[in-house]
Amino acid sequence: MPVDSAAELLKYYEVYETIGSGGFAKVKRGRHILTGEYVAIKIMEKKDLGDDLPRVKIEIEAMKNLSHQHVCRLYHVIETATKIFMVLEYCPGGELFDYIIAKDRLSEEETRVFFRQIVSAMAYVHSQGYAHRDLKPENLLIDENHNLKLIDFGLCAKPKGGLGYELKTCCGSPAYAAPELIQGKAYIGSEADVWSMGVLLFALLCGYLPFDDDNCMVLYRKITRGVYDNPRWLSPGSILLLNQMMQVEPKRRLTVRQLLDHPWVMTGYSSPVEWHSKHPLGHIDEDCITEMAVSYKRSRKGTIQLVSEWKYDQTTATYLLLLAKKQQGKPVRLRPDNPVQDIHFSPVQESKSKKTLDFEYEDVDDDMDPPLILGPMELPGGQQAGRQALGHTLAPSPDRGPKASLYIRTEESGAKLRLHP
């Protein structure tokens, strides 16, 4: 990695272990030097992106336009001649996918907590004119407060005429894709998202997927038929909601707005899902501005002008991370600006391991296998759609009763990896 690229990142961040890798990206845990807050740093090498470079640009643009309590926050974008760095909200709880595996399946009560957050995020995303188009447990992270954050907007779409306009690109992960996408038809993005939300809800409640097969064509036939078996432990209310979301005919599906106060969603709650952003774009917080003005030795007016440019540079990152500290009840204070002297090390890495920070996508000090970040995939029609969907086979085992086994199958090798006994 050229020194200028490393230096540009390490001016502002300490960089630690790899927490995810695969495809064209690696994600490392980092810490913003000035605020002391932890972040996730997504590192991409331009020469490896190839045809996926436009997808990265789409993701960056979408995340700049979204600010919601259940959408992962973008703080900073650094682009050099060879690399793109996306600095994102750090979610130490990992993927919802792994959480489901660890618990086999979730109770209806816990599922409802998570599902209300998913509905909140999707109602907001749709209100901003976007369809996500790749909803699945791997694209939901759990933060330090056990709340969900939606990630991966690389396949999102924002039709110029609004969400009511049809889309044609066949993309997403096969097991979660709506029948109209599988069939190569024009489709409404928000309707396709509701189908994926239904598959996701089934996975939460059951610990396996409603549609799955080792043979992709058999899988596609199952999806287009829309027939699946409900396990015996599902409540009548859960069965009804799943049926209302996974309707083969898109116009017969519930809308996200109808989900906000659906009887199943409202069980145990006195009010509908709150979907409006608690942190609207463009909000200027007086305490954060005051702290930055003192640190930057600028007037408050000048600091407001600087922050209001929203360049997603060091200024934007500092402001948003200060705001995050305030929202978490931490003191709104900046640390002394002590840049890292040796660009090959963060202070912690240097003291603990004395190993160089390798940016060429080889782990140097990782104690465990990172979570999977999926690579390119294709659906019928030959159109590449960014991330390769891994086939999920979570079939109930007769001798285990309601519990499930989970396998992941890579499309390239056909090999199965059993993740849970």
42 is annotated as contributing to ligand binding = yes
- Contact yes or no for 84/56 (Cβ under 8 A): yes
Instruction: State yes or no: is 134 an active-site residue.
Output: yes
Amino acid letter, 36: G
Task: Find out whether 231 and 401 touch, Cβ atoms under 8 Å.
Answer: no
Catalytic residue among 134, 152, 193, 212: 134
Which residues face 262 on adjacent strands? none
420 neighbors 101 (Cβ within 8 angstroms) = yes
Backbone phi, then psi, for 43, in 5-degree steps?
-110, 125
Separation of CA 174 from chain center? 17
Task: Give the torsion sign (CA, 325, 329, 330, 334).
Answer: positive
SS3 sequence of the chain: CCHHHHHHHHCCEEEEEEEEEECCEEEEEEEECCCCCEEEEEEEEHHHHHHHHHHHHHHHHHHHCCCCCCECCEEEEEECCCEEEEEEECCCCCEHHHHHHHHCCCCHHHHHHHHHHHHHHHHHHHHCCCECCCCCHHHEEECCCCCEEECCCCCCECCCCCCCCCECCCCCCHHHCCHHHHCCCCECHHHHHHHHHHHHHHHHHHCCCCCCCCCHHHHHHHHHHCCCCCCCCCCHHHHHHHHHHCCCCHHHCCCHHHHCCCHHHHCCCCCCCCCCCCCCCCCCCHHHHHHHHHHHCCCHHHHHHHHCCCCCCHHHHHHHHHHHHHHCCCCCCCCCCCCCCCCCCCHHHHHHCCCCCCCCCCCCCCCCCCCECCCCCECCCCCECCCCCCEEEEEECHHHCCCEEEEEECCCCCCEEEEEC
Q: Binding site membership for ATP: which residues?
A: 42
Q: Binding site membership: which residues?
A: 42
Could you give the residue numbers annotated as active site?
Answer: 134
